[in-house]
Chains A and B, each alone.
Chain A
Amino acid sequence: MAEPDAALGGPRPPSNTESMSPRGWRLAIVLVLGLVFSAGPLLFSSYWVGLLTQMVILAILAMSLDILLGYTGLPSLGHAAFFGVAAYAVGVLATVHGAGFWTCVAGGLLVGTLLSAVLGLIVSHVRDVYFLMITLALGMVLWGLSFRWIPVTGGDNGISDIPTLAAHSGLPFAGPLALYYVTLLVFIACAGVMALIVKSPFGLTLRGIRENEGRMKSLGFNTWLHCYLSYVIAGAFASVAGVAWAYYNGFVSPTYLDLTASSELFLMVTLGGPATLVGPVLGATAIVLLKNVMSAYTARWLLVLGIVYIVTILVAPKGVWNLGPSGRSR
């Protein structure tokens, strides 16, 4: 991830070695994704609309991790915690306290963001593998809490019977299609804000820290504060995804924030292409698709998935989004 970002104005070597330029490849990805996400639900059955909803929510989550992992260079292995905690907040508020829709949404976002603001104070001091380990540990602590704080979280059983989005928000349209398009709007809003953030001077500073923190420090930047804010922003967007996920599934369980969830998220970003924002969307889409399509055909789907991961890392070490002559020659 230590290369200038070509999509955002970095130097791009001329590409004349192969028939399809990286620009063409990327255009194709964006077109296909755009087409599937906008018109797909109208053609597919409700099951596929459900999968698309999953993809869109996980795409928000993967993009939020990308701010941290791709742009700031802070590898977090506990990012699913904010997602899960926000979902738990919605679950507890909606079922135990019978709160209204906006209270649940605000509560979920607030709890997730506040948590990242508190944990950020601890983790922003460390870098690289230490960051990885401390986020892993904090993620496990929160998972343990969700599992053992039984009066609040219901333990292993989790919290079910969260009302549907339509029933809870008073939305005039019910059903999976309405849920999908609402989620898509949230996704577009989040993606827009995140794109603005990474293109802003603040975002450029984050990339500077990723490239060479010592130099940024000597230029007078408060790198600790930048890393801290990056962590909180990532936590806030993860909370958005968590709230959406709670309404999509209608229940919350400790598996939302376990290590498997965090590492799958990590894979989505790495496979798609870190520091690109579109890459994580692609990664989330591909992994949801692969998991659900593969497992329908073979009991050995985990094996297939593993092979796909390895091949992708070998063929496209900088992610599928960066696949192409420039992506590989750099």
Chain B
Amino acid sequence: MKKLQCVVVAALLVAGVLLQGQTVEGPIRIGFLVPLSGPYAQNGRDILNGFLLLLDEIGYRAGGREIQLLAEDTEGIPAVALTKARKLVESDGVHLMAGGLLSSTGYALAPYIDSMQIPMVYPVVSADDLTQRRGSKWIVRTGYTGSQPNHPFGDYAYHTLGYRTIATIALDYSFGWESVGGFQRTFEEAGGRVTQQMWTPVSVHDFAPYLAQISRNVDAVYALFLGRATLQFMRQYEEYGLKDRIPLIGAGTTTDEHALPFMGDEALGVITALHYSAALDSPANRAFVSAYRARYNKLASYYAESMYSGGKWVIAAIEALDGQVDDREVLLNALRAARLTDLPRGSVELDAYGNPIENVYVRRVDRVNGELQNTVIDTFPRVSQFWNYNPAEYLAQPLYAR
């Protein structure tokens, strides 16, 4: 027994010494950070799956060099994400990093990314200020800002859907505030009014107290949820008899494909806006969705698409440099200059702040061939994070908050 303990201690020490002696040459190393355990594991898994699918398609090679993926689990905890980022950069010597899911992680990593001057791709983290008031040179966002799809959607809700008064109910954190804030701004500028706002804790288990409070006199309810919460909300919204009385609209995650297959008729007719839909009818998207289904046997969510496209972004930059990615400044510029036209979500380019200009799709949940899908019913082409506002004036105003 004692000998065994000594051996274990010795082995751990030896492992420690060996682990730090890895060199930087050879393949292109991409560090990847998402939650693979904890409450956000499923979303994190989707993001990773999208990337793995892409890497498989290109045979783990780009620009004449082998691609090596080093995936680390952040557990959805910012401090853990930072520790793992330190490992990837300082111990594994990655050329660039990608990943992140929660805004809290995005903000926690930003100062470290800046201090280490390592190019970082955020495929999902949607906290507005990461490419606005607190922008970082080294962060390239290939996803969206929380308010980005909601600016056109507020306009759409007033002019096309014809709503005049709306109640909002959303998760009480920055993704919720920024989405609702963006929606409210354009909706009220068009002439509508948000008459009631409710915020639920992220850990919400029962929506009964909130649903009882919803005013019955509004034209529609705007909801923002994801994961387990959105399944629960949809079901209770119907159980409370609200579905037949007040139309439900919301942010893209509320009916996103990570949750949609687990919903029933209660989701039918819900209208949401996002920069992606798995039902998007383009050759690139059809190919992606069917390849994803063939490999993982499930519907591609926007999380999966985010890193499939984010991966394409990275690969495009590597190809543009013929694999010469060792100069981080050059790699960063290549990432910022990349312009992709054949992504599943459509054509995308970065603005001067490192955030994509991309289409926003208005989607309605329909049942097609027995399966629920987000049918695209309208498209706002080339939407910037600043919508139609002047960036300088936009940035002079405070961030959307409660």
Contact = CB atoms under 8 A, between A and B. Distances in A.
A47 B401 contact: no
A155 interface: yes
A74 B1 CA distance: 32
B111 A161 contact: yes
Given A48-B20, A302-B37, A156 B91 contact: no
Contact of A249 (B73, B82, B107, B127): B82
A45 B173 contact: no
30 contacts: A18-B2, A19-B2, A20-B2, A28-B9, A32-B9, A45-B90, A47-B87, A48-B16, A48-B91, A54-B83, A147-B201, A147-B202, A150-B401, A150-B402, A155-B172, A156-B174, A157-B127, A157-B174, A160-B111, A249-B79, A251-B111, A253-B78, A253-B104, A255-B79, A260-B77, A289-B16, A293-B16, A295-B73, A299-B36, A301-B73
A157 B20 contact: no
B85 to A, nearest CB: 10
Interface in A288-317: 289, 292-293, 295-296, 299, 301-302, 315
Contacts of B36: 299
A323 interface: yes
B368 interface: no
B110 interface: yes
Contacts of A20: 2
Nearest to B70: A296
Contact of B103 (A19, A32, A156): A156
A153 to B, nearest CB: 11
Nearest to A293: B15
Contacts of B402: 150
B12 A44 contact: no
A296 B401 CA distance: 37
Interface of B: 1-2, 5-6, 9, 12-13, 15-17, 19-20, 36-37, 72-73, 77-79, 82-84, 86-87, 89-91, 102-104, 107-108, 110-112, 127, 172-174, 201-202, 401-402
A292 B78 contact: no
Contact of A46 (B12, B15, B90): B90
Contacts, number: 105
B401 A157 contact: no
A253 B91 contact: no
A250 interface: yes
Given A157-B104, A157-B127, A255-B77, A292 B87 contact: yes
B352 to A, nearest CB: 23
A156 B9 CA distance: 38
Contacts of B9: 28, 32
B91 A47 contact: yes
Contacts of A51: 83
Nearest to A52: B16
A46 B87 CA distance: 9
Interface in A135-186: 147-148, 150, 155-158, 160-161
Contact of B104 (A47, A150, A158, A249): A158
Given A18-B2, A45-B91, A255-B77, A155 B20 contact: no
B389 to A, nearest CB: 23
Contacts of B111: 160-161, 250-251
A128 B73 CA distance: 36
A48 B13 CA distance: 12
B118 to A, nearest CB: 13
Contacts of B78: 158, 251, 253, 255
A160 B79 CA distance: 11
A279 B85 CA distance: 29
Contact of B79 (A32, A47, A256): A256
A299 B70 CA distance: 12
B80 to A, nearest CB: 8
A43 interface: yes
Nearest to A36: B13
Nearest to A155: B173
B72 to A, nearest CB: 7
A157 B73 CA distance: 19
A269 to B, nearest CB: 20
A50 B84 CA distance: 11
B172 A148 contact: yes
Contacts of B89: 47
B202 to A, nearest CB: 7
B400 to A, nearest CB: 13
Contacts of A251: 78, 82, 107-108, 111
